[in-house]
Amino acid sequence: TAAEGQLRIAKQFGIVYLLLNVVEDQKLIEKHGKAAGLDIKVDYVQLSGGSAVNDALLSGNIEVAGAGVGPLFTLWDRTRGRQNVKGVASLGNFPYYLVTNNPAVKTIADFGEKDRIAVPAVGVSVQSRILQWASAKLWGEKDFAKLDRISVAVPHPEAAAAIIKGGTEITGHFGNPPFQDQELAENPQAHIVLNSYDVQGGPASSTVLYATENFYKSSPKTYNAFLNALDDAAKFIARNPDKAAEIYLRTTNSKLDPALLTKIITNPAVTFKVAPENTLGLGRFMHRVGAIKAEPKAIDDYFFADPRIATGS
Amino acid sequence: MISAATLSDLSVLELAEPRPRAPVRREAASARPASESGESPLLRIRGVTLEYRTPARVVRATHRIDLDIHEADRFVLLGPSGCGKSTLLKAAAGFIAPVEGEITLAGVPVRGPGPDRIVVFQEFDQLPPWKTVAQNVAFPLRAARSLGRREAQERARHYIDKVGLTPFADSYPHQLSGGMKQRVAIARALAMQPKVLLMDEPFAALDALTRRRMQEELLALWDEARFTLLFVTHSIEEALVVGNRVALLSPHPGRVRAEINSHEFDLGSIGSRAFQAAVQRLHTRLFETDPETRAPTRTTAS
Amino acid sequence: MISAATLSDLSVLELAEPRPRAPVRREAASARPASESGESPLLRIRGVTLEYRTPARVVRATHRIDLDIHEADRFVLLGPSGCGKSTLLKAAAGFIAPVEGEITLAGVPVRGPGPDRIVVFQEFDQLPPWKTVAQNVAFPLRAARSLGRREAQERARHYIDKVGLTPFADSYPHQLSGGMKQRVAIARALAMQPKVLLMDEPFAALDALTRRRMQEELLALWDEARFTLLFVTHSIEEALVVGNRVALLSPHPGRVRAEINSHEFDLGSIGSRAFQAAVQRLHTRLFETDPETRAPTRTTAS
Amino acid sequence: MNPGAVQRGPVPPIRPEYDRVLAPFVEAPVERALPRAARLWQQDWLRKGLIIAALALIWEGLARWQDNDLLLPGFLATMSALADGLVDGELLDRVRISLAVLIQGYLAGIVLAFGLTTLAVSTQFGRDLLSTLTAMFNPLPAIALLPLALLWFGLGSGSLIFVLIHSVLWPMALNTYAGFQGVPETLRMTGRNYGLRGPSYVLRILIPAALPAILSGLKIGWAFAWRTLIAAELVFGAASGRGGLGWYIFQNRNELYTDRVFAGLVLVIVIGLVVENLIFSAFERLTVRRWGMAR
Amino acid sequence: MNPGAVQRGPVPPIRPEYDRVLAPFVEAPVERALPRAARLWQQDWLRKGLIIAALALIWEGLARWQDNDLLLPGFLATMSALADGLVDGELLDRVRISLAVLIQGYLAGIVLAFGLTTLAVSTQFGRDLLSTLTAMFNPLPAIALLPLALLWFGLGSGSLIFVLIHSVLWPMALNTYAGFQGVPETLRMTGRNYGLRGPSYVLRILIPAALPAILSGLKIGWAFAWRTLIAAELVFGAASGRGGLGWYIFQNRNELYTDRVFAGLVLVIVIGLVVENLIFSAFERLTVRRWGMAR
Ligand SMILES: Nc1ncnc2c1ncn2[C@@H]1O[C@H](COP(=O)(O)OP(=O)(O)OP(=O)(O)O)[C@@H](O)[C@H]1O
Ligand SMILES: Nc1ncnc2c1ncn2[C@@H]1O[C@H](COP(=O)(O)OP(=O)(O)OP(=O)(O)O)[C@@H](O)[C@H]1O
Ligand SMILES: [Mg+2]
Ligand SMILES: [Mg+2]
């Protein structure tokens, strides 16, 4: 259904989609399309929830979707031989923190029966996968799901509120920016127990964009313009973090504290680039624990071939 | 009443036969009813058995009823409570299909209800509660007759006046007394000026005075329009006054016990010797409850 | 009926006075009703005006009604359709509060309904459709009297038999004819053996035979238990047979026009000279519709 | 009965008869206009207002007691957020967008419900179809319909309307059908006696007679349409920034502006109250109450 | 009327009178047992079965035509996933967990609805309270309650039940109240005449008389309880890995095992059908149908 010149992109809520906000605001895709002699009609669709995004992609209502790395592996695995969904680009490296307001908890081993760790979806979200991975490292592959028992699925906002204010059963939250940063900023008791980078062995892509093979093959010019635009945006943000923050606040109508936002963007652990980084490990882990059937062997197994991507890992 | 007869149409053929004015006839217990007289009845009820099916069982309401109602008849059904009068009326109206026998109207089997046979039901909830008295009376005129709005309203007003409810024309049914509700239903039926009118104890809820007025009204209208009336009542006097022929039904399940002529009585004859005698006769017949112990009383046409 | 009287309890004091048997008295048009005779009535209706409030307007159903119903009275309300008989009965039952005047029962103002005054309504939908005939009759016995299950059932069976519905004891109301439903309601009320029984045209839906039987039954029960009966009817004959005193109401809004004694008539007197004369008299009274043009007829107690 | 009493029980006294000439009735008008209608109305508002005020008080108290304004902001905080949102026009805009979709879905659901119920009252097949379909689809959550909606209607308001219809159709059909079944037999017969059948029978007899049940179906449908819309807007999101109230709630929830979330919810409540007290109850007063079909 | 006709219109013939002795009625039993009851029942199943089969066929056809089994798996694929899930016992386990919670919430909702409606029929304050509360809370989506549920009931089934009550209470109360209001005046008076008041009046008069409306409220409540449970389990259900059917659906949906998602939904449908056709319709047959209050 995808045709050259049409691009519908689904993004979810959050600062991890900053790259797309900049692309949208600066009309970068249109610019690169024109350069290639193509009028690209771009639509940005805001959706909430990974499965809604997947459904929209698989039903052909959008060309490009964004979600965590974990869902990409799942989608890639399930659509092999069908729609052949693969990654398009990374949206940058963000660390995910497991934050707790329980002073007794210093490492994940300290979580007791009374504690509850909030994640977006128990077992299947990126946060859960990383927690499983960390558990596997700590207690061995067999016990990778040990902490799933005290994990609960709570949407980020409620979980953040619970961590900040206390008074509920939730004592841990494996979130994402800006929630984790808000928790740390607003509750002096809150501290980091686990950093996803530590588990993944260094800075790693957190959110990625992906598309169907059909789009990749039938709209090469659009695809190319899109990647160029992302690349431009990544560079723009790296150069002008304040401007990027301003764009984010303006385009999303967000009322987030600008200082906190700038702090997140300029966090040295955060980088904006399109090349994926450190993703294969998670894929391999997921295969090991049986979450996906096929084993990803190399980056181009699950990312579409492109020179800007091939440098990734 | 004589229409173009085709050879295949038996009932019409029958119609063409000379009309015998049978004098007083004495019949044996097994005698067939009057239809043998040759005049083709408008509404012919032949061996009609009516039953109610409930989830648990089947109740037979009437058993093999034979009745002939001729055009312009004022035919009265008289019988004890629960003998199946209402059921029979509903069957004639087309609401209940016989399990045995057949009901024909002008030779055509009755298949369902229709505005050619307007019914006044026994129950008080036959008035749509969302319509005022005036709207209630105009309702079938607009629905079935597709009369103009103005015309229907005028006609409705006329008949509301006949039943004495003009001050309540704009009241809703729930603001009326039981007798007033029944009068609205009567006005509604009369306003339709139907060829066949089926009335189920229409005057039961009325006081003596109003009842008398309604009876007068009904008879005057009949005199004018000569519709065919099937009338259920439990008042012997009313049966004699309103009807020209009265059928007596037996207790549950209803069977026809007798038919009696009453065409010579009208409202004026109440209190007369002959009338009192007729009342007495019917009274006696009704009070003889045990059919086995009773010898057939020979009756004479009055 | 004589209970421990305290000085503060005026109505009981009145009760203790000697009971004067007032002979025939002729009264002027403005005369107060019989309560002056000194015997304290059980149910005293004093200047009672009853109104219905609808969202749009207020309808006056009865206007300043004065009636005294003594213990063991069989008091009949007779009047044209829509004159407020049912409304008055409902007020006595405690369902409608007077806007003027007061209703007292044994000296105590009536504040609401209660099982001391059992009502038979005019409408057919007074039977809970989810109860069989037997359950319907037993229902108030269990609810109000807290009779034992067995006892209530037995009593119910007895009264169902009295109204001739034993074969239908296990039928549901929707499986009954109109008259049968009314008979269930009657059985239910009688089974309660109430001190005060209020009946609103209970026999209107019944055929002559069944009606006669019901009247007999009611009078026999009264003879046995001497309850106080307030009875609405539109049949003059029935009024005379059932009642010992008949109140005539004027058309809408209802006012008391006359009270007449009828204690000397019973079922046996139907057809007698005196009875016919009484019927005729009431008939004439009812048929004089225009109150203005009519001179006051002086009546004599019969 | 009472063996110890006088043998035949009490005998009422014989009183004199009387007969009066009644003057024509002029003392009071037989009918007069109800005077206090207006005042009663005000009291109605007053009473309901008091209940709402009490609820607001309880809310504020609870919020203060819980002291967790990120999860449960107080009434006053919510009101000030609401005022802000209304003043800068954003909230009203969102409401407009949501209401436009809501009403389309609601009306479509009602029409379909009547169609299905009309089929059900006229044929045995329709009856089976209705009972099977409602039993099957009514318990299905919207996510079951999502794939179909996406395949057929895409991401626009088409899908929203589809999901709205799902939430309105079944309860509406169930209630309407129950209402139709409860129409007294005599009334049905009256209608058929006048030759009404098919749609005109449904329209002129069944619908008015079943109006109380239909009305409660409409209320339930209305409420569920709101619920579904707010939930579905999160999923179907906001193409080109045109999200409705649901999206507003979601967005502010994500930014932990819980007071604005509650402001959005309060708006839903206010709209619900307005619809209930102005539209539904006026409709009730003009119909079932006036007709004596409900008190 | 018809000036061209005979002057006074037709005159019926005068027929002879007759009078018969009727033998006692013995020809057929006045009442006899309905013979084909059993057969009719089978046909009922048959007809509904055919409808279901037709729907399955349409489903399979649609799925094949769309050819997108990650979005819309076919009927057969779903059935095999369902069979797998049932065989390894996982699905049944999930259903058990869900049903346990569902029934608690459902019953609590019903009880509360009756309490509220009883209050509403007895006092003006109750009436205002009911109409205000339903108008306010009925349109509120469950996410509005999420924070409150978290604060008050934590993450266990307490919160689930709280949300379930919210979904059952309002429609149930609305329908019950509408049913109560439609009880014929005469029947009410009968009950009050026998001295019934308060709860025993509600229990012995209003509830049975309003049963058709209550029944449709029960059906709607049941359906919405399911919908809500499945949506709510995503949030509250999976504490300590003991998630119910909703959790099963959610998890498999996230992992794109769409056939399992549909298997879970089919199970919801099957349970709905069983409840409708065994419980509700049996209840209907034993009550309103038997009493002639619905056909
Ligand atoms: N809906 C029904 N279901 C089952 N049986 C019924 C139903 N309606 C009536 N019956 C039965 O059919 C018989 C005849 O009833 P019907 O109403 O025709 O009597 P009726 O002659 O009109 O009596 P009434 O004078 O009391 O109105 C009664 O025995 C009654 O029990
Ligand atoms: N619910 C009501 N709302 C408004 N007006 C009413 C209501 N019920 C009765 N009325 C009016 O009150 C008057 C008296 O009614 P009621 O039912 O007491 O008459 P009734 O004497 O019993 O008549 P019937 O013999 O016809 O039963 C009537 O004029 C009627 O219009
Ligand atoms: Mg009848
Ligand atoms: Mg009356």
Cβ–Cβ below 8 Å for A46 and D243: yes
- C87 in reach of chain D (CB within 8 A): no
Write down the mean pLDDT value for chain B. 80
- pLDDT tens track for D87-118: 988 889 889 989 999 999 999 999 999 999 99
* Phi then psi dihedrals of residue D90, to 5 deg: -65, -45
Q: Is the CB–ligand 2 distance for residue C146 below 6 Å?
A: no
Domain edges within chain E: 72-286
pLDDT value of residue B245? 92
Nearest Cα neighbor of B122 from B75, B189, B42, B52 is B189
ipTM of the complex, rounded to two decimals: 0.83
* Res. B125 pLDDT band, cuts 50 70 90: confident
- pLDDT tens track for D201-245: 999 999 999 999 999 899 999 988 988 888 888 767 655 556 788
Atom of ligand 1 nearest to the CA of C207: 25
C49 contacts C99 by C-beta, under 8 angstroms: yes
- E26 in reach of chain B (CB within 8 A): no
Cβ–Cβ below 8 Å for E30 and B300: no
Which residues of chain B neighbour E27 with C-beta distances below 8 Å?
A: 63-64
- How far E185 CA lies from chain B's nearest CA (Å)? 10
- pLDDT tens track for A137-149: 889 888 888 888 8
- pLDDT tens track for C224-256: 888 999 999 988 889 999 999 999 998 878 899
Specify the CATH superfamily of domain E72-286: MetI-like (1.10.3720.10)
pLDDT value of residue C7? 30
Distance D269 CA to ligand 3 centre (A): 52
Which residues of chain A neighbour D250 with C-beta distances below 8 Å?
A: 13, 48
Whole-angstrom Cα distance, residue E266 to residue E288?
30
Domain edges within chain B: 10-24+34-128+195-300
User: In 3-state terms, what secondary structure has residue A297?
Assistant: coil
Which residues of chain A neighbour D155 with C-beta distances below 8 Å?
A: 45, 47, 56, 61-62
Residue nearest to atom 13 of ligand 2 (CA): C61
- D47 in reach of chain E (CB within 8 A): yes
Length of chain D: 295
- E292 in reach of chain C (CB within 8 A): yes
E159 contacts E236 by C-beta, under 8 angstroms: yes
Nearest Cα neighbor of C237 from C209, C262, C205 is C262
Q: Which of left, alpha, beta for B82 (phi over 0: left; psi -120 to 50: alpha)?
A: left
Across residues A242-271, what is the average pLDDT? 87
Q: Which residues of D, range 165-184, sit inside 8 Å of E by Cβ?
A: 170-171, 174-175, 177-179, 181-182
Q: What is the pLDDT along chain C (302 residues), one digit of tens a residue?
A: 333 333 333 332 233 333 333 333 333 333 344 444 456 889 999 999 999 887 667 888 898 899 999 988 999 999 888 889 999 999 999 999 999 899 999 889 998 898 889 999 988 889 999 999 999 999 988 887 778 889 899 999 999 998 889 989 999 998 888 889 999 999 999 998 888 999 999 998 888 788 888 999 999 999 888 899 999 998 888 999 999 999 999 887 889 988 989 888 888 887 788 888 888 888 888 766 544 333 333 333 33
If you measure CA to CA, which chain D residue comes closest to C37?
Answer: D15
Whole-angstrom Cα distance, residue A188 to residue B26?
114
- How far B209 CA lies from chain D's nearest CA (Å)? 18
- D6 in reach of chain C (CB within 8 A): no
Atom of ligand 2 nearest to the CA of E185: 1
pLDDT value of residue E117? 92
Which among B86, B178, B204 is the nearest to C86, CB-wise?
B178
Q: In the complex, which subunits touch C with 3 or more CB pairs below 8 angstroms?
A: B, D, E
Cβ–Cβ below 8 Å for C175 and B54: yes
Which residues of chain D neighbour E113 with C-beta distances below 8 Å?
A: none
* Phi then psi dihedrals of residue E199, to 5 deg: -60, -35
- pLDDT tens track for B60-110: 889 889 999 998 899 999 988 888 999 999 999 999 999 989 999 988 999
- Percent of residues in chain A assigned helix, strand, coil, to nearest 5: 50, 15, 35
Whole-angstrom Cα distance, residue B48 to residue A122?
73
Q: B285 CB contacts (<8 Å, ≥6 apart)?
A: B248, B257, B258, B297, E19
Q: Distances from the Cα of A178 to the Cαs of A262, D253, E218, in angstroms?
A: 11, 13, 44
Lookup: tokens for B188: 């509604």
* Phi then psi dihedrals of residue C62, to 5 deg: -130, 155
- How far E245 CA lies from chain A's nearest CA (Å)? 15
Atom of ligand 1 nearest to the CA of B85: 21
Q: Which residues pair with D18 in a beta bridge?
A: C259
Nearest Cα neighbor of E154 from A152, A119, A173 is A152
Atom of ligand 1 nearest to the CA of C168: 31
Test the B interface: residue of D34, D185, D192, D194 with most B CBs within 10 Å: D194
Across residues A277-306, what is the average pLDDT? 88
DSSP state of D203: I
Nearest Cα neighbor of B279 from B229, B251, B243, B250 is B243
With a cut of 80, say whether residue B298 has pLDDT above it: no
Buried b (16+ CB within 10 A) or exposed e, E205-227: bbbbbbbbbbbbbbbbbbbbbbb
Whole-angstrom Cα distance, residue D33 to residue A263?
73
- D203 in reach of chain B (CB within 8 A): no
Q: E88 CB contacts (<8 Å, ≥6 apart)?
A: none
- D293 in reach of chain B (CB within 8 A): yes
Whole-angstrom Cα distance, residue A185 to residue A164?
9
E52 contacts D132 by C-beta, under 8 angstroms: yes
- For strands B43-53 and B100-105, give the pairing: antiparallel
Which residues of chain A neighbour E70 with C-beta distances below 8 Å?
A: 58, 78-79, 82-83
E strand or H helix that includes residue C43:
strand C43-53
- B199 in reach of chain D (CB within 8 A): no
DSSP string, E38-87: HHHHHHHHHHHHHHHHHHHHHHHHHHHHHT-TTTS--HHHHHHHHHHHHH
Q: What is the pLDDT along chain E (295 residues), one digit of tens a residue?
A: 444 444 567 778 888 888 877 777 666 554 555 555 555 555 677 888 888 999 999 999 988 988 888 888 899 999 999 999 999 988 998 899 889 989 999 999 999 999 999 998 888 888 889 988 988 888 888 777 777 787 788 777 888 889 899 999 999 999 999 999 889 889 999 999 988 888 889 999 999 999 999 998 999 999 889 888 888 877 665 554 567 888 888 888 888 888 898 999 899 889 888 888 888 888 888 888 888 877 6
- pLDDT tens track for A105-140: 888 888 888 888 988 888 778 888 899 999 998 898
With a cut of 80, say whether residue D197 has pLDDT above it: yes
Distance C246 CA to ligand 2 centre (A): 20
Cβ–Cβ below 8 Å for E147 and A161: yes
Q: In the complex, which subunits touch D with 3 or more CB pairs below 8 angstroms?
A: A, B, C, E
Which residues of chain D neighbour C23 with C-beta distances below 8 Å?
A: 16
pLDDT value of residue E83? 93
D35 contacts E114 by C-beta, under 8 angstroms: no
* Residue E88 CA, distance from chain mean position: 31
- E182 in reach of chain B (CB within 8 A): no
Test the D interface: residue of A45, A48, A260 with most D CBs within 10 Å: A48
Atom of ligand 1 nearest to the CA of E292: 1
Whole-angstrom Cα distance, residue D147 to residue A52?
9
Distance C112 CA to ligand 4 centre (A): 20
Assigned fold of C10-24+34-128+195-300: Rossmann fold (3.40.50)
Which residues of chain C neighbour D24 with C-beta distances below 8 Å?
A: 291-292
- B174 in reach of chain D (CB within 8 A): yes
In single-letter form, the type of residue at position E123 comes to T
Whole-angstrom Cα distance, residue C282 to residue C236?
7
Distance B239 CA to ligand 3 centre (A): 15
Neighbours of E1 (CB within 10 A): 10
pLDDT value of residue C291? 43
